[in-house]
Structure 1
Amino acid sequence: MATILKPKALPQGARFAIVSPASTPRPDKVEQGITALHALGYRTTLFPHALDKGPLYYAGNAAHRLADLHEAFANPDYDAVLCTRGGWGSAELLPHLDLAMIADNPKPFLGYSDHTSLHAYLLKTIGLVTFYAPMCAADFSRPDGYDPASWGHALGGSSNWSLTAEDGLKMLRPGYAQGQLVGGCLSIYNEALGTPYAPALPDGPTILFLEDIGTKPYQWDRYLVHLRYAGHLEKAHGIVFGDMSQNVPEAEYALLEKAILHALAEFKGPIAIGLRSGHVDAPNITLPLGIQAELDLTAAPRLTYLESAVS
């Protein structure tokens, strides 16, 4: 894995480049999200292909989506790159990314779900710290769709801040771990394994964050067994799972937790669940990926970032 590269903190009145590297967003949701961003004092530019429809479910062809993403990083007028929504499509861009240009113009890259492929590959190749974070159409369009505290800490330069039970964190297995926080959407993360774009195992220990949507207990079990067989848990010292309300009804939570613990019977580190980041219907928590964190499940559950995510 490359040496860690941190983007600059968001300045006051930051301008966001709004792009769609994956699927087509609803225009009304994008407009609502932009209105909310403006109310927070930010400026925005909606990129030329962000609302494109097709081919298929994509927001334009791969060349158009790539052009928007490259311009968002290359143009100094923009302070951060914000995705409209996930869906499917980011993986198509990976072989064509201008990594040298992005490394020369590091900016906060914000999104989740399908954008896990971009998070993992940018960390692996150029060491860029990115943000598993609320998106324009998916979250800022909703009342209380983003979590102000984690957004401010992550993008403002706080060097020691924590997420706790108030953020949904619950203990599944006690213990203590420290390492580089990596991860994202479980299905996207897993499907990259065995390809040149697979998430990298860093030199040191990791804390693995995993979440998803519409994934049943047996599927969580299967994905985790795949991670284990692929050797991807060898560097993991702790695991944090996301909020499960978008996967199963509350009546099935117990079964899902049992499935997770069954798949991780040989994993000895601490395990937490319930963190409200990614696919949630609550204020979405911003997680920096690529920096050092501490998972303490010896008493009240706490995930603490040990360094700033921005320069």
Structure 2
Amino acid sequence: MPSLNHIHLIAPSYPLTAQDIELTKSYFENLGMRITVPSNLLGEDLLCANKDEIRLAHLKRALNDSSADVIWLLQGGYGLTRLIHKLLPMEKPRREKLFIGCSEGTALHVFLNQFWNWQTLHGPSALTIAKQKVGTQTIEDVLQILQKGFSRYIPPALKPINPKARAAPTLSGMLVGGNLCLLQCSIGTNWQFNPLGKILFFEDIDERGYGVDRMLAHLQQANMFDDAKAIIFGDFVGGNEPDGTSLVPAVIQRFAENIHLPVFSLPGCGHGDENFPLPFNIQLKFDVEENRK
């Protein structure tokens, strides 16, 4: 039996079908895991899987369940940012759970990392794995973490983008971050992400070059990079120009050349064909690919 055996599936964001929920539940039950899904997970709402108060109640119930090991986002979309500020008055549960998710899940990563000091896992949604919409290596890596925890986790090698990164044989520290748009959305809120001393990870989907540039400029002008340790860019999928090209790589390169921090890339982490798991709020040591001896 897996060591992280009891999984709460949550849908705090976009709606999905009952068939997708059952498919996901069956997939993980067939792996020997115990799955909890609220009976009223789906309901009527303008944008999300259910009304705010019901989605919030589901989230709080999962966080407070003393028997739960994992809280897993069924799918992303939009909706968590409507709920996160309502978690701030909540008393921290005695038992820590491992939250898994990406994209919209970034908001919950920020809250759990900063306010409760919990470790979380940036990785594919539960539905994405159940439908096998990511590569075999991603699925195997995530399942190994469920079985063994982080004891056997080896961080992937980074690719340096700027001179400061090329001068570093390794990069050590705590990784935080997630979806660039969601992190920008936190600015000015009472759950604003705190980059102090951290390695920042960014990824996104369907953002054109000017949009990525605007978000990075906003964060820079808000002094969010002043006390960070380094920046890692994961995959930026989609967002092509009308002619089919992408300006995002050039935008990231220009940004890297004009910032005081070492900047790296990490292909295979984000919304692409692979979404390798990345532990947040845990001490990691990355090799730097071109600098290994």
Query: Smaller-chain TM-score range?
Result: 0.7 to 0.9
Q: Distance in 1 between matches of 2:265 and 2:16?
A: 29
Match of 2:174 in 1: 180
Q: Which amino acid aligns with 2:225?
A: L
Q: Distance in 1 between matches of 2:234 and 2:248?
A: 12
- Tell me the alpha carbon deviations over residues 142-198 of structure 1, each in whole angstroms, 9 at most, x when there is no partner: 255543225524773334643436xxx543232433321010000010111122111
Match of 1:305 in 2: none
- Runs ≥4 residues deviating over 6 A: none
Superposed counterparts of 1:190-201, under 5 Å:
190-201=184-195
Q: Which amino acid aligns with 1:201?
A: P
Q: Which amino acid aligns with 2:221?
A: Y
Q: Distance in 1 between matches of 2:58 and 2:222?
A: 34
Match of 2:290 in 1: 299
Contact 2:75 2:128 in 1 (8 A): yes
Contact 1:18 1:50 in 2 (8 A): no
Of the three residues 179, 189, 198, the one matched with 2:183 is 189
Q: Distance in 2 between matches of 1:207 and 1:175?
A: 16
Say which is worse superposed, 129-138 or 213-222, in terms of deviation.
129-138
Match of 1:308 in 2: none
Q: Is 2:48 aligned against 1:55?
A: no
Superposed counterparts of 1:244-259, under 5 Å:
244-248=236-240, 252=245, 255-259=247-251
Going from structure 1 to structure 2, the CA distance change for 1:187 and 1:143 (only over 3 Å counts) comes to closer
Q: Is 2:218 aligned against 1:226?
A: yes
TM-score computed with the length of structure 1 as normaliser: 0.81
Of the three residues 10, 32, 48, the one matched with 1:19 is 10
Is there any run of 5+ residues in structure 1 with no aligned partner, and where? 1-9, 302-311
Q: Distance in 1 between matches of 2:188 and 2:133?
A: 40
Q: Is 2:127 aligned against 1:141?
A: no
Say which is worse superposed, 180-189 or 125-134, in terms of deviation.
125-134
Of the three residues 148, 151, 171, the one matched with 2:160 is 171
Is there any run of 5+ residues in structure 2 with no aligned partner, and where? none
Q: Alignment length, in residue pairs?
A: 284
Displacement after TM superposition at 1:265 (Å): 2.9
Going from structure 1 to structure 2, the CA distance change for 1:50 and 1:102 (only over 3 Å counts) comes to farther
Superposed counterparts of 1:72-87, under 5 Å:
72-87=62-77
SS at match of 1:65: helix
Q: Distance in 2 between matches of 1:45 and 1:154?
A: 16
Match of 2:234 in 1: 242
- Tell me the alpha carbon deviations over residues 198-246 of structure 1, each in whole angstroms, 9 at most, x when there is no partner: 10233xx221110011011111111111111111111222221112334
Q: Which amino acid aligns with 1:294?
A: K
Q: Distance in 2 between matches of 1:300 and 1:162?
A: 17
Match of 2:21 in 1: 30
TM-score computed with the length of structure 2 as normaliser: 0.85
Superposed counterparts of 1:149-164, under 5 Å:
149-153=141-145, 156-159=148-151, 161-164=153-156
SS at match of 1:137: helix
Superposed counterparts of 1:212-223, under 5 Å:
212-223=204-215
Superposed counterparts of 1:108-119, under 5 Å:
108-119=98-109
Q: Which amino acid aligns with 1:55?
A: D
Question: Among the aligned pairs, what percent are the same residue?
Answer: 27
Q: Is 2:291 aligned against 1:263?
A: no
Q: Distance in 2 between matches of 1:95 and 1:214?
A: 27
Match of 1:131 in 2: 121
- Tell me the alpha carbon deviations over residues 261-284 of structure 1, each in whole angstroms, 9 at most, x when there is no partner: 2223332333222432332233x3
Displacement after TM superposition at 1:34 (Å): 2.3
